[in-house]
Amino acid sequence: AAVADKLDNGRGILRRRFYRQHCTAEHGSYTKNLSSICDDLNRVFILDNSPGAYRDFPDNAIPIKSWFSDPLDVALLNLLPVLDALRFTHDVRSVLSRNLHLHRLW
């Protein structure tokens, strides 16, 4: 939550956040049901370190490595160009589904 708060910086861009308590347990991992957010997922993305969390919505997913208080971790910084591009697209899936190499950014 602290990272998301810092990224949002009081602008209200990151309106809703979902955590483990918002998940359903499936196949030994937790899955986040993005369709519970809204019917139209063209402006919704999930940033998560667990592929199981976005198993049902891979085209809305931005994978990221786990963070363990490493001050040298730049994974989010490396994602800034992708996040910036999402601001200008009508459907985030058109960008994210083509970027299967996102895991290489970290």
Convert the pLDDT of each residue in 45-66 to its tens digit. 998 888 888 889 999 999 998 8
Domain count, the chain: 1
CATH of the domain at 64: 3.40.50.1000
**Can you say how many angstroms the Cα of residue 95 is from the centroid of all Cα atoms in its chain?**
13
d(CA 24, CA 66): 20
The whole-model pTM stands at: 0.77
Alpha helices in 1-106, H assignment, sequence order:
2-8, 75-87, 92-96
**Structural domain boundaries enclosing 30:** 2-105
Convert the pLDDT of each residue in 9-55 to its tens digit. 888 777 777 777 888 888 888 898 999 888 899 999 998 888 888 88
d(CA 95, CA 103): 15
